[in-house]
Amino acid sequence: MRRHRQALKLSIDGLARRSGISASAIGTLERGRTPLRSLWSAAALAYALKADPYALAVAAGRSFPTAEGSDRDQGPRRSASVADIAGSRRSVARFGEVLYLWRIKHNRTLAYVARLSGTDRLRLSRIERMTAAPSIPTVVKIADGLDLPRTEMLVVAMRDQLCRNLYAREGMVYAPHVRDLYTRSR
């Protein structure tokens, strides 16, 4: 992040003004004292630095360790992709939708997914209904717990965050008009 900022000849204060993130928070991120946890912050920093928001989210996701006891520690495995879960006819899947479709496909409850991913059941429910955005560590926990590719899940979550940011800039409320996930289509 520091290299991008310096290449644009921006001071920390200049980046803070452009991104809406405090200069002290930017300083601690640059020094590596705290990892980048928020997709909102990642999107704001990427926009201010004219960088790829997806690459920034994926890089931030790599800074979080693999959960202990995860299948990822046992060598290469074929995990499901977002396209496998959402189906080939869904070109743009939302993070909450992918989570819901995985649960339905595997006939699992929210409590089960919460236990697997080490995340609160109520938070997962809000993420599924797309009324709450996950943080980067939450996306990583869910991806690792469900044996889904971190990179793809972070990209999907960042795409949702960028949509939220666009709606906020336009003064609108982010409420994706996708079919009701809780009613099965015939």
Whether 54 and 103 map to the same domain: the answer is no
Output the domain CATH number for residue 101. Answer: 1.10.260.40
Helix, strand, coil shares, percent, the chain, to 5: 60, 0, 40
- Spatial contact of 113 and 124, defined as CB atoms under 8 Å apart: yes
- What pLDDT, on the 0 to 100 scale, is given for residue 27? 92
Whether 136 and 158 map to the same domain: the answer is yes
Structure tokens at 2: 């520091």
pLDDT tens-place string over residues 4-16 = 899 999 999 999 9
Q: What amino acid is encoded at 37 in this protein?
A: R
- Helix or strand holding residue 176 (H, E): none
Residue 178 falls within a domain, yes or no? no
Specify the number of domains making up the chain. Answer: 2
d(CA 63, CA 183): 37
Measured in Å, how far apart are the chain's first and last C-alpha atoms?
48
Provide the 8-state DSSP code for 72: G
> If pLDDT is split at 50, 70 and 90, which confidence band does 47 have?
very high
pLDDT over 90 percentage in the chain: 46
pLDDT tens-place string over residues 119-169 = 999 999 999 888 889 999 999 999 999 888 999 999 999 998 998 888 888
> If pLDDT is split at 50, 70 and 90, which confidence band does 181 have?
very low
Whether 49 and 92 map to the same domain: the answer is no
> If pLDDT is split at 50, 70 and 90, which confidence band does 184 have?
very low
Residue 184 falls within a domain, yes or no? no
> If pLDDT is split at 50, 70 and 90, which confidence band does 186 have?
very low
Residue 57 has pLDDT above 70, yes or no: yes
Q: Is the dihedral of CA 127, 139, 122, 89 positive or negative?
A: positive
- What pLDDT, on the 0 to 100 scale, is given for residue 97? 86
Residue range of the domain that includes 16: 2-62
Residue 34 falls within a domain, yes or no? yes
Residue 81 has pLDDT above 90, yes or no: no
* pTM confidence score: 0.80
Q: Tell me which residue of 40, 51, 62 sits closest to 5, measured CA to CA.
A: 51
Whether 85 and 152 map to the same domain: the answer is yes
Residue 55 falls within a domain, yes or no? yes
pLDDT tens-place string over residues 129-139 = 888 899 999 99
